[in-house]
Amino acid sequence: MYPQPRQDYVSISFAGQRSGNYNNSKQWRRQSCWRKWKQLSRLQRSLILFIFVLLFICGIVSYPAVTAHLRGPVEREQDTDSSVVQRPVIPHVLPEPVVMGQPLLPEQPSQRKLSNRRGPPILQNRLLKKGNTSDTMVKDKAAARKNGREEEGVISWHGAVIDTEQVTEDTVDTEDLRRNKEVLSKESEAIWLEAVREAFRHAWKGYKDFAWGHDELRPISKSYSEWFGLGLTLIDALDTMWILGLKDEFEEAKAWVATELTFNKNVDVNLFETTIRILGGLLSTYHLTGDTMFLDKAKDIGSRLMPAFNTPSKIPFSDVNIGKGTAHPPRWTSDSTVAEVTSIQLEFRELSRLTQQPQYEAVVAEVMKQVHKLDGKLDGLVPMFINTNNGQFTHQGIYTLGARADSYYEYLLKQWIQGGKKENQLLEDYLQAIEGVKKNLLQKSSPNGLTFVGELSHGQFSPKMDHLVCFLPGTLALGAHNGLPADHMDLAKKLMETCYQMYVQMETGLSPEIVHFNMHQGSTRDIDVKLADRHNLLRPETAESLFYLYRFTKDHKYQAWGWEILQNFNKYTKVSSGGYTSINNVCDPDYPSPRDKMESFFLGETLKYLYLLFSDDPNLISLDQYVFNTEAHPLPIWPSTV
């Protein structure tokens, strides 16, 4: 008999299961763990929770020390090093050049929504530290890295991917370091200059494609607008192209001037604007190139402007018909603005010198002679309007260095320089006016004490400052360079800081047309901007003064400020199809509201001054040989006849 077969498995059933198979689901396991947790006493549960919390807190406290130890001594030294050099690793993206011994380029967040208020924190940092700009900015970047806000390979707001490399004087021979600095400086200069050339080419492309031969480009609508019908932008930009070395663009513009430009037109033009933009532009281009065609054109337009001076008072009318040879005041008044009639002298004086025809200089000299002896001034400050019939100031009691008066003060100094520093009456009027500014118009803002130039209206001070006033730092610096009191340079530097803050405290990094400064104790920010004043017209005055301050001081922070301004023009005003546009709202980075107009002075002045600012060649339009008119056209300082 064989034994009965033995079963070699055991069957087990679990109650409560919906099938006979073992269920290892997460839900079942969670229920089991929860039962075990509930079986513990309240004291046991509290003790376990306390231990977990304690371990978590200890981990947080010890984390920085552990990570610093793991990074090692090299990275800790890099965090505090002030000689960090940044280099772009994407060659086709415009980099941010940073040179040892020079300031780091301005840095902004890649998303402005993270911080809509640009200015006050930056300003407080700058005013508190008062040290070398480059040291301050490097330390700020090192602190940012410590806090985890900056890592290697981060895309900056300019769009360049950057990394960091430590270079210290401890590890580099002093002579090698000096040579490295020189090489890096030249590389940075080349990058900055090419950036301005590229901006000009882009602006010129829009003008050439959509507005060729017309006055101004409308880049949004890809069209043009006419003011005088004389190719205003093209003539204004001639000497800029020559200075920037854009020879192809210059030659095509020169061909248009030679074959297409004619002043034999039945059209009214503004005496002041035509003088500074067209006459000044042609004279400047003649001096730079030696081409007499430009001088012939200058003679033509100069002679056609002369009827403006046929007035009872010898104070010129504002408007001239260059085809008919007639002139008249505006339809609504018999007044001319003081700035306009006193800011045409450089150009007419130079035209007389070149043509040996004294009538041009004579008519503008008569204007200055009459304004010099007029009543109605306040400590050398002049009202804004003058009557063409009786030659007297009108609307008296209002004094400003902004619109309608600004370039009067500029041309007092520049005529004195142009003529070889011999015309003492001009110098006396200038020095008296600067003292008048200090006495009546100079104040400081709250809370950070920015020095600014306000306005006076019938004895009442207004903390209003036009962007136009930002010509003043450069003019003061030019005077100090030519032997005027040293405190003029001190004031120039303070006002330069203020003009820069008019940019940096705006959400787009671009200055509005007009600002109002807070003067009340307890103010939280220095600058307020009214709704109607938030536009930016691509104006040049701040770039102009930055150029003068850098040329005379060699302080690289002025180049860094100019670079930041150029980048913000590129970010908020550049039109993809060509050209740049003025904008309506510098306080809204999401929609700055383009105005669809590129003023001729953007090419004639703004980009020219930025290019000269970025150049380290003091002989590129030497300020000992040339004086700039108020439209940035360089005219020669007359040789001494002694």
Of all helices (H) and strands (E), which one includes residue 252?
helix 247-259
| Of residues 350, 303, 222, the one with CA closest to residue 635 | 350
Q: Is the preceding omega at residue 447 within 30 degrees of 0, hence cis?
A: yes
The residues that bridge with 455 in the sheet, in sequence order, are 462
- For CA atoms 251, 255, 258, 260, the dihedral sign is negative
For the record, the structure tokens of 316 come out as 């010129």
- Residue whose entry in the numeric block shows the structure tokens 């035509």: 274
Q: Which pLDDT belongs to residue 10?
A: 46
Find out whether 540 and 606 touch, Cβ atoms under 8 Å. Answer: yes
Give the burial string for 406-419 (b: 16+ CB within 10 Å, else e). Answer: bbbbbbbbbbbbbb
Mean pLDDT, residues 256-261 taken together: 98
Residues 6+ apart with CB under 8 A from 523: 445, 446, 447
The reported pLDDT for the residue numbered 101 is: 38
- CA angle 519-522-525, nearest 5°? 65
CB-CB contact of 632 with 600 (8 Å): no
Contact 133, 520 (CB under 8 A): no
The amino acid occupying position 547 is F
Q: Residue type for 368, please?
A: M
What residues have CB less than 8 Å from 594, skipping those under 6 apart? 220, 573, 575, 581, 582, 583, 584
Judged by DSSP in three states, 258 sits in helix
More confidently predicted of 158 and 432: 432
What are the phi and psi torsion angles at 187 (to 5°)?
Answer: -65, -45
Residue 158 CA to residue 523 CA, distance in Å, equals 33
pLDDT bin (cut points 50, 70, 90) of residue 99 is very low
For 498, phi then psi, to 5°, come to -60, -45
- Return the percentage of the chain with pLDDT > 90, whole number: 70
pLDDT of the residue at 57? 81
- The token duo for 595 is 């105005």
State residue 188's pLDDT score: 85
Question: How far, in Å, CA of 556 to CA of 470, rounded?
Answer: 19
What rounded mean pLDDT belongs to the chain? Answer: 83
Q: What is the pLDDT of residue 178?
A: 58
pLDDT at 89 over 50: no
- Long-range contacts at 456-461 (CB < 8 A, ≥ 24 apart): 456/378, 456/381, 456/398, 456/399, 456/400, 457/397, 457/398, 457/399, 458/397, 458/398, 459/397
Confidence grade of residue 120 (pLDDT, cut at 50, 70, 90): very low
Asked if the model's pLDDT at residue 163 lies above 60, the reply is: no
Average pLDDT over residues 588-592: 97
Token reading at 264: 């034999």
Least confident of 89-93, 132-136, 301-305, 560-564: 89-93
Where does the pLDDT of residue 382 fall: very low under 50, low under 70, confident under 90, or very high at 90 and above? very high
Cα–Cα separations (whole angstroms), residue 99 to 6, 85, 137, 167, 188: 90, 6, 12, 11, 7
Q: Is 67 annotated as a binding residue?
A: no
Question: For the CA atoms of the chain, what is the radius of gyration?
Answer: 33
| Locus of tokens 């882009």 | 202
DSSP code of residue 389 = T
Please check the confidence at residue 614 and state whether its pLDDT lies above 80. Answer: yes
pLDDT for the residue 641: 65
Q: List active site positions.
A: 273, 406, 513, 541
Q: What single letter denotes the amino acid at residue 337? A: T
